[in-house]
Structure 1
Amino acid sequence: MAPENTLASLEAAIALGAEAVEFDIRTSQDGVLYVHHDATVDRTTNGTGRFADLMSFEIDQLDAGTWFDTRFAGERVPRLDTFLDACAGRIATYAEIKDADPAVVRDMLARRGLLSTAWTFSFDQSIRAQTRAKVPDFRRMVLFQHVGTIERAVALSAHILEFHADDLTPERADAAREAGLITQMFYGGEDRAVFEHAVRCGIQQMNIDHVDIYREVEAELIATAD
């Protein structure tokens, strides 16, 4: 509905009634934190180059909307502080850290009253280790495809366990909840059968693009059960 990792996409999520927003965090060459996914700016802006090599004044000038639709021309790569200000009091936050100090991210969330409902994850193993060691009060998510068992997720003191369509079973979802974990599922598509499976498994949080389709499926299953 809107270009990813922008204030426009945040507003679209809030308008849809999403309960949380997932975003990615990177750091500029001069140490400013931004909301951006890729290691380069080429795909989602009118610029080129590695994100970590760019100064903040250069990033601030990039157009992050036109690639998606000309209606979003002039949309910027948001600084993390601006993005979090727009979230405060309105929506919970799922901060995926691509390249940033987790302690700095944690403190930025805390200052805005967002920490208690926030959680984090990183595909970078060193960042995951830093998060466990430096900010244990920052709720952490792990992937089932990484940990392999419910027991391993518990041993890592995880708070949230994320499944994918190919590893979600009712038995695993039940076991995760019984172990005190919050269950989450990531799915980037719009296959109603996948959404139906998630609902039947009792998944508590959905990390998805197509919120509207998911809610239709959920409502249909609830109506059928009644």
Structure 2
Amino acid sequence: MSSLLFYNVENTKIKKPLNDLVSKLLTGTVCVCSVGYCDTAGMCLMQDAVATYKETRNGLIGLDYSTKFSPWLAIGCISPRYIYQQIKKYESERTANQSTYWVVFELLWRDYFKFVGAKYGDRLFDIKGLQDKSIPWKKDMNLFNAWKEGRTGVPFVDANMRELALTGFMSNRGRQNVASFLTKDLGLDWRMGAEWFHYLLVRLLARVSVRVGTWVRTWD
């Protein structure tokens, strides 16, 4: 899609190109919230957010711990290369630290799973995983329904699963923990969890290989 995709800034009723949005997200002059976008005239919480990403990336609640780039990357409104270029510009003009490095690293991690998908194809969905491990996975629908509806009795898991159901979003740390719980604690077929994520996660408008590869990594 063209980089001239527009977004609405609700309190000013104006439109700006997406490329401008990326620069503003990196520098903190615009932020992403659950209802859309807002400019700094009101409630921006992301001032120089990219410079503190490493410290905030494992957060669970709030507006300013995540880049929120995933949906835009997923549907092709923006490219990893453009984000990389803007980060390098930010580093040269402001600061370069472990946080700016980690944003780039996560983009590389995303590309890695795309290459994994390209290399292994349908094997990515094999119940034995890429290392051909035979694990007696269960397909207990009562356990699965409790997991997906946030009724496991484990508050951390349940809170994350309810957030996913209500918003289509879950933090990076939340996704890792609920996936691990499904496979290692409940012993359920990992593909059931991957399919549920694919159904609900906003970011899973992305190529399937990225998120399925992440699920395989939780146990394989």
Fold shared per TM-score above 0.5 = no
Q: Highest relative contact order (Cα 8 Å, sep 6+), 1 or 2?
A: 2
Whichever structure has more helix as a proportion of its residues is 2
TM-score, normalisation: structure 1:
0.32
Whichever structure has more strand as a proportion of its residues is 1
